[in-house]
Structures are given as C-alpha cells and as structure tokens.
Amino acid sequence: MKNFYFFAITVLMASCGDGTDPVTSTESAETASTYAVIGQDLQILKDEFNASRGKVRLMFLSGPTCGICLRGMADLNDAFLAEHQNDDRLATFVVHVPTMGAKQKHVADTIPLLDGPRIHHYWENSGIIGQHFREVMDVEHYVWDFWAIYGPDITWDGLLPPTPEYFEHQLGVSAGRFRTFPEGLVLDADRFAAKTLAMAEAIDGNDPGIPITSSTNTAELLADGTEIPVIGQPRNVAVRQHIILRGGYANLKRIQSTVANGQLQSAGRSYDLTVVTTRPNDIHRELIAGGQLTVAKKDAGEIFIDPDASRGIPAAVEEQLLANSEFDGLFVEWPDKGHEVSMEGMRKFNDVLAWRLELKQKNGPVWSLFLDSHSGDLVQKEMLNESGKPSLIIRQSGFREVDGFRFPFRIEYMSGDGESIAVETIDTIAIEVEPFVVEDEVISH
C-alpha cells in the first residue's frame, strides 16, 4: 500500500514540504486554534507529552491528504475516542506530516474526524518525526500511518520519541525483504480500543466506561458530513477497490441478468417492486399497488414509462435513472465508455468515511460518487446540475453478498436538498451468471 523505504525518505520530504520554516515557539498556538505548528526539535510535542504523564497517551502519525490515514482516525474516533473524550485518563497526540503532497493548509479540514477536549493536533513541516520513529522501531521504511499507545509512566527524555508499549499501523508489509511491521498488527480499531481502555483501567482499577455526554454527541454530529477536499490517493485506489470487492472485474462480466423483488414506499403508499436487468443494458421496473401493474423500462435504448401512472418516483426522475443506468455500474470499463473520473476527496457518512469521486458520463450527467473506503460499496450517488449542486441523491445501504457479488438491499431516492422521494427495500436478488469460472484480472483504470 505505502512502502516508503530509507532511500526514498529524502525525496519524499523534499517533494511534500511547502518550503517554509516551521514555527517553533508559542506563536504556534496563536496561528491556529485547533492545531499547533511544531519545529524539527519537536519540543512542543515533547513537553506536552511529558506534561500528560500519568495518563495513557496515544500518538498517531498521520497525513492530512492520506485517505487511508484519515480512515484510521475516523475508525478510532467511532470505536471509542468520541465516547471517551471526557475520560481524564486519556490524552491523544495527532501529528500530521507532509506526505502525499500535504501542506499545513490541509490539516484543519481533517480535525473534525478526530476531535475532543483531550485530543491535540500538530503540523510537523519537516516530517522528521517519521524518520525518528523509523529508528525507534528499527524498520527500514519511513514511519507514518502509525498508531501507538504509551503507558502512564513513560517519559520522553532524549531526541528520539520513546518506544511505544503497543502499536498498530496501516503500512505495507514486504515478505521478509525488509525490516518492517508485522501484518498481524494492521490497524484494527476495536482491538486498539480494547488495548487502550485496558491500560486506562489499570491506572485506578475502575471500569473505563464513560457515559456519553451531550458534548460527545455534538462531536459525533460534527464528524458526520465532514468534507475532506484534498486526497493524495489516485482515483484508481477507490475504483479498483470498488470493483474487486463487488466480485471482481472479470466475474462481474459473467452476470447476464438480475431479478430483484421487494417494496417501494413513497408518500405513504406501498408498492410491490420487481426490477429485472438484462445484459447489455435493458431494465424492466414493475410496480403493483391496489392490484394495478405499471411498468417503466429501457429496451434497446428506448425508454417507456406508463403514462399517467402513479409510480411513487416522478416520471422525469425515473426517466433520468433509466437513461443513465449502466448494467455493470458506472465504473466498469469507463475508459472505453468515454467517461471521465477524478478523485475529489472524502466525506463522512455516520460511521463510514467514503472516497468522493466525480464522474462525467459521456453525453450524460455529472455525478458525485461516494465509495465506502473499507468495503468499496457505493453508498451514495449525487446527480449534479449545471451549477455543480445535487439535483438528485441516491443513497444505498444494507449491502449483502449474493453468490459472491455485493448488492445494496435498501435504496433511498432524495431531492437535491435531501427531501425523501421514495425508498426501495429489496427482499431477494437472483442472478444468472455464465457457468464458467474465471480468475480476476488486474484493474488498469
């Protein structure tokens, strides 16, 4: 994923820094209310770390444009730090470093993902802290996307940070060729939470459970909806993850048809729903309410919707959906389709930190697409108008596997301002696939 070995450290730091001298005095607290700027001596961080002696201290090395790092921050916040932000036995130090083109201006956007009264954020312009941890941890790659726990008795005495009592990471591992971190310690937020809270309990022997307060709820609400506008990962990271975790590019091509059965609710009315999709790109949507069957379909590119029929979704919206649907999804073979895709950042949806991509369909609309950064699931699609604002929002959830392929089992349609239009709840999905089995190929998007 991210192997930065010793010979690349100088290049990494030179290409990612912003060329300014770091602020090393108390001026840092005056330049920003939410984070401090620290110099290469790390003195501010060192002093504040030692001032919290007697607490369990967490130190995170992150990159403010590294989506995987930010996902780790959000995971730890959701797993326990938001709930325990008022626990005086904990102190958290988040050091942002200039990897993946990050600059100081990017730090503030990320803070809502992990915020609270005992969480301290820093910008370290030189990135030297990652080199120090490379030496401390005796590994051959630059250390970042690194998550460490220190017990209450540890002090930071010399130039180098102390060795953590426990750590996890999200760095790549290299089958014995380099001194690197073990694969078994890749960040697991629940495991990390358990380790931290066990240490906190040992301080005074009390149960570490802290009641959720109104301030905690406020912090969680602030994190939800957070936009991260600049991400260093290329678009292929999200696209490949989405396709592979849906079943793989080659296997997706084996699907010849799908039949979904469920219900559609709109304006207090319920419909029985059947949606049949057939390769190459035909769609047949049947709704039954009060014994009346109505149909909307796309067949060989031609669209038909029963005239004057009540179908829950406005005819103009349903026509747009039919016209712009693609059998394999918007991402599969998009270079051949003539679509343009770019990575636009990330957005927090409750407990999901999603990649945000922009897709311009050839001869069609522009979409904002949001992919769960863990599962690759397409959790939200927004059709944009000429001013770049959503005109239609489609939210997908309840993803489950059917014969090895992932599908959403709940789809909500909303207006551009978030007002609900209709909700589809799927009970069953049946798929027809070609009988042969293929090995997935490398995605070259």
Give kind and range of the element (H or E) at residue 124: strand 119-124
Q: What is the DSSP string of 375-441?
A: T--EEEEEEE-TTS-EEEEEEEE--EEETTEEE-SEEEEEETTS-EEEEEEEEEEEEEE-S---PPP
pLDDT band at 68 (very low <50, low <70, confident <90, very high): very high
According to the model, what pLDDT value does residue 26 have? 32
CB neighbours of residue 205 within 10 Å: 6
pTM for the full model? 0.87
- Identify whether the C-beta of residue 179 lies closer than 8 Å to the C-beta of residue 173: no
Q: In this structure, which CATH number among 3.20.20.80, 3.10.150.10, 3.40.30.10, 3.10.580.10 belongs to the domain 6-231?
A: 3.40.30.10
Topology annotation, domain 237-433:
outer membrane lipoprotein receptor (LolB), chain A (2.50.20)
Query: What does the domain layout of the chain look like in residue ranges?
Result: 6-231, 237-433
> Which of 18-27, 46-55, 256-265, 410-419 is predicted with the least confidence, judged by mean pLDDT?
18-27
Q: C-alpha angle 118/16/97, rounded to 5°?
A: 15
Contacts of 201 (CB under 8 A, 6+ apart): 207, 208
Pick the closest to residue 96 from 146, 132, 131, 61 (CA basis): 61
pLDDT in tens, 94-139: 999 999 999 999 999 999 999 999 999 999 999 999 999 999 999 9
pLDDT in tens, 418-432: 999 999 999 999 999
Residue 19 has pLDDT above 80, yes or no: no
The burial of 355, by beta-carbon neighbours within 10 Å (0-12 exposed, 13-18 middle, 19 or more buried), is given as buried
According to the model, what pLDDT value does residue 119 have? 95
